[in-house]
Structure 1
Amino acid sequence: MTNPLSKRLLAAAACAALAVTVLSVPATASAAITRPAATAVTAVAAEAPRGAIVSATRLDRLSPAQVSATLRAAGFPAPEHPLGVDVHRVVYRTIGTDGAPTTASGVVALPRSRDGRLPFAVYEHGTLPTKRYAPSVSADGDGRLVPVMFAAAGFAGLAPDYLGLGLGPGRHPYMDTASEVTASADLLRAARDLAARHGRTLDGRVMVTGFSQGGQAAMALGRALQQGAVPGLRLAALAPISGPYAVERAELPAVLSGDIEPHTATFYLAYWITSMNRLHHLYDTPGQAFRAPYDTTVEGLFDGLHTEEQIAAALPASPAELLTGEFMDLVRQPTGAFLEALRTGDTTCTGWRPRVPVTLYASRGDRDVAIANSRLCRDDLAAGGAEVRLVDVGAVDHVNGALRSLPRVLRAFQDLLS
């Protein structure tokens, strides 16, 4: 995949990026990772409430013509009559995986029309190992462009960076649904405050989508909103794309069968295992999980500073070359802490009944996230009495599945505006 559109989406589909050149990021964006604009910072005490804005910086102001040109140049759908859009980076208070106060960052895109009250449209981005490719820092990734697309259609468009990405401190807890939810819910709180500062009011509706890792995050956020996670906001629509909702039952079997491209599977497993070890203690030393020489290098690759290209070059071609025999056995037959970590994440489609229609999008040609994840999610939700449908967008790969899905998501959300 070498076309410009794929390169933009690959910032959100890290494993697909293993075979192509990663996006370049301006030096000013890289500097922002460690130093937010001083003029934008407002001091907030450590005991400030979750969602309190630490800083808000306008990143861009786009006319309707610029919105159309930007989205279409990247291959994203543009509304028929787009509004102008102001794009903001927000740093806000949230909590870490240990419940202690921390900060996170994200994008809030507001339409420049002042007519009516705005609903939220949240986009949860896919797998990213690199801080500077997060939505609030990288200008040409899907995490920035999809909120612009929604804002141009009359929504307040949001994309959280998640913990540890963008301007967030520390390492990203990859595939940790609890922190995906808290980072997303607290960005909603911050965005509500930001909108009020700009004279905008919100109507309380939240429409949620996301791609890849973000599909799982979208499902988890949808459940949290329905349970009242953010008072005054309610789930109005749920439309995730190609999420790994059932890693134990669908994704790992696809890894073992070869249905997931082996180098891609190696990337995902390395990222997931090193992340989950910090939360669930999967191993005492890296050598228990990773073969030499990778046992001395893998943890350092996922420090948020390495690019997808650098990580790919440092990983072997298959999981069996990366993992010890003990950990390959856990991939085949999960037990103990490994199984606990899997099942903690594999709950986004089970144990609840969405009160809004749910549309899942996926592609049967996907070799990053097997479509079996979406089929199991559909079945799990339907078994609980939910109104849910699965749209198979064709025999295309992970990235192109997203490209085929996003126009459908936009139309479905627009239909709910009236």
Structure 2
Amino acid sequence: MTSRLTRTVAATLATAALLTFPLSAFGAVSQPTLSEAAVSSVHARRGSVISAVPVAQLTAAQLNAMSADFPGTPPAAYGVTAYRLIYRTIDHDGRPTTASGIVVLPDGRRGALTVAEYLHGTNPTKTAAASVDDTSTDRLVTALFAGQGLVGVAPDYLGLGLGPGKPPYLDTKTETTSSGDLLLAARTFAAKHGIALKRDVLVTGFSQGGRASMAFGRALSRGEVGSFRLGAIQAVAGPYDLLGSELPAVFTGGVLPPTATFYLGYLITAWNRTVGLYDDPREAFQAPYAATVEGLFDGTHSDEDIVAALPDAPQKLFTPAFIKQLQHPTGKLLRAVRAADQVCRDWTPRVPVHLYSGTKDTDVVAANADACAASLRAHGADATVHSMGPVDHTGTAFAAYPGIIRAFSRWA
């Protein structure tokens, strides 16, 4: 493993300390406690708030200073306070569980406000989630929306932050339900601060969160999240087309081999728990990785540690037979991939869709955005692809978010 790879993967996951600031910059921070995390026995309806703890407070000036890596971000109009919420939701099989996330309120604002919900990129590590990591770029992006006068909402997804169990990955069901149930919890929580959440919700996300944004937007458009509806959607560098774009790029060089190894290791071990792709890890993974790969993605290991424990190419991680499955999916894997790809294919957004890509993205190839837009247009939607030019995966986000924040600020 090279130092360049470590930086590339850490940036790709959008969970490492890309923007590191002294703890004092965030004001008084409350760390998670055992009593706060141990809530699995609590019974309440979906979207119920179990706990709410302030985790960050920033002035408008501090937000402006911290947005330096997002040049062109409009100046903040408000200071903000971020809260970690633990709330009731459901798992992949519909069973009650809990999840964590953040709600960021603009200081001094009351009355009816619009929500900007931000969905984060790939993260294998519980402690790297925005609700618990004080250096989280995801927390900062959510706070930048609140600094415009919006209510920022960002789920950790299941199994991350203070959520119990192992994290699912690219799991449309739980990405959607955890996002929707946090929005319901945010409505209850905001009301206690004199804020009513407007019906129209602005949705955005990066990488895994770009794809999850399409799924969540679909749920909002179908009336599946209480009285909320989709107001706008802008998704960045998402793997919307696994079958036609992303998986082929793994084997044609479009996705860097070490990065593909990480993503596929996470995906296949996570999908095995929900779809059932193998009975024994040795059916999918080569020795010695078959004995260790599932444990690497249990939520307790950092992305750097995982990369260090994996080989540098998918062909070294997976068995020859499973490599053939990834190249030409059949059976359960094919059905799971096709189902995942429906986020751009089985609905017609009634609001314009803006997708962002980078021509040097070797994590999520730009063809994903083109394929998603083509599918949406075929169903009569207004879909636009914005190329951020010769930038990599994280560079796409850094280039796209100033404009997205500016566009969403018009709703404040």
- Could you tell me the TM-score, scaled by structure 1's length? 0.91
Q: Distance in 1 between matches of 2:8 and 2:193?
A: 34
Q: Distance in 1 between matches of 2:130 and 2:404?
A: 19
Structure 1 residue 199: Cα displacement: 1.1
Q: How does 1:187-198 map to 2 (within 5 A)?
A: 187-198=182-193
Is the contact made by 1:238 and 1:357 (CA closer than 8 Å) also made in structure 2?
A: yes
Q: Assess, with a 3 A threshold, how the Cα gap between structure 1 residues 175 and 359 changes in structure 2: closer, same or farther.
A: same
- The alignment status of 1:153 with 2:152, answered yes or no, reads no
- The alignment status of 1:248 with 2:237, answered yes or no, reads no
The corresponding residue for 1:55 is 51
Q: 2:259 aligns with which of 259, 264, 267?
A: 264
Q: Assess, with a 3 A threshold, how the Cα gap between structure 1 residues 275 and 148 changes in structure 2: closer, same or farther.
A: same
Q: Assess, with a 3 A threshold, how the Cα gap between structure 1 residues 2 and 225 changes in structure 2: closer, same or farther.
A: farther
The corresponding residue for 2:332 is 337
Is the contact made by 1:30 and 1:132 (CA closer than 8 Å) also made in structure 2?
A: no
Identical-residue share of aligned pairs (%): 47
| 2:55 aligned counterpart, secondary structure | strand
Q: Distance in 2 between matches of 1:150 and 1:373?
A: 26
Residue identity in the other structure for 2:11: L
1:161-214 per-residue CA deviation (whole Å, 9 max, x = no partner) reads 000000000001100011000000000000011100111112212000000000
Q: How does 1:223-302 map to 2 (within 5 A)?
A: 223-302=218-297
1:48-73 per-residue CA deviation (whole Å, 9 max, x = no partner) reads 1101001000112222222222333x
Q: Assess, with a 3 A threshold, how the Cα gap between structure 1 residues 296 and 77 changes in structure 2: closer, same or farther.
A: farther
The corresponding residue for 2:322 is 327
1:231-271 per-residue CA deviation (whole Å, 9 max, x = no partner) reads 22111000000000011110011001011000000000100
| 2:240 aligned counterpart, secondary structure | coil
| 1:347 aligned counterpart, secondary structure | helix
Q: How does 1:304-323 map to 2 (within 5 A)?
A: 304-323=299-318
- The alignment status of 1:347 with 2:348, answered yes or no, reads no
| 1:181 aligned counterpart, secondary structure | helix
| 1:145 aligned counterpart, secondary structure | helix
Residue identity in the other structure for 1:103: T
Q: Assess, with a 3 A threshold, how the Cα gap between structure 1 residues 254 and 188 changes in structure 2: closer, same or farther.
A: same
Q: Assess, with a 3 A threshold, how the Cα gap between structure 1 residues 9 and 30 changes in structure 2: closer, same or farther.
A: farther
Q: CA RMSD in A?
A: 2.7
Structure 1 residue 143: Cα displacement: 1.6
- The alignment status of 1:369 with 2:364, answered yes or no, reads yes
Q: Distance in 2 between matches of 1:201 and 1:24?
A: 32
| 1:167 aligned counterpart, secondary structure | coil
The corresponding residue for 1:10 is 11
Is the contact made by 2:310 and 2:317 (CA closer than 8 Å) also made in structure 1?
A: yes
Residue identity in the other structure for 1:63: T
Q: How does 1:188-227 map to 2 (within 5 A)?
A: 188-227=183-222
Q: Assess, with a 3 A threshold, how the Cα gap between structure 1 residues 30 and 394 changes in structure 2: closer, same or farther.
A: farther
Q: Distance in 2 between matches of 1:370 and 1:246?
A: 10
Is the contact made by 1:11 and 1:128 (CA closer than 8 Å) also made in structure 2?
A: no
| 1:346 aligned counterpart, secondary structure | helix
- The alignment status of 1:176 with 2:175, answered yes or no, reads no
Q: Assess, with a 3 A threshold, how the Cα gap between structure 1 residues 123 and 22 changes in structure 2: closer, same or farther.
A: closer
| 1:364 aligned counterpart, secondary structure | coil
Q: 1:103 aligns with which of 98, 102, 109?
A: 98
Q: Distance in 1 between matches of 2:112 and 2:31?
A: 36
Residue identity in the other structure for 1:197: K
| 1:109 aligned counterpart, secondary structure | strand
Q: 1:68 aligns with which of 48, 52, 64?
A: 64
Q: Distance in 2 between matches of 1:206 and 1:406?
A: 17
| 1:184 aligned counterpart, secondary structure | helix
Q: How does 1:23-38 map to 2 (within 5 A)?
A: 32=32, 35=34
| 1:117 aligned counterpart, secondary structure | strand
Q: Assess, with a 3 A threshold, how the Cα gap between structure 1 residues 76 and 36 changes in structure 2: closer, same or farther.
A: farther
Q: Distance in 1 between matches of 2:306 and 2:29?
A: 21
Structure 1 residue 229: Cα displacement: 1.3
Is the contact made by 1:261 and 1:367 (CA closer than 8 Å) also made in structure 2?
A: yes
- The alignment status of 1:84 with 2:83, answered yes or no, reads no
- The alignment status of 1:409 with 2:404, answered yes or no, reads yes
Is the contact made by 1:46 and 1:101 (CA closer than 8 Å) also made in structure 2?
A: no
For structure 2, the residue ranges without an aligned partner over 5 or more in a row are: none
Is the contact made by 2:14 and 2:138 (CA closer than 8 Å) also made in structure 1?
A: no
1:87-139 per-residue CA deviation (whole Å, 9 max, x = no partner) reads 10000000011111100000100001325521000110000000000110112
Q: Distance in 2 between matches of 1:403 and 1:21?
A: 11
| 1:82 aligned counterpart, secondary structure | coil
Is the contact made by 1:393 and 1:404 (CA closer than 8 Å) also made in structure 2?
A: yes
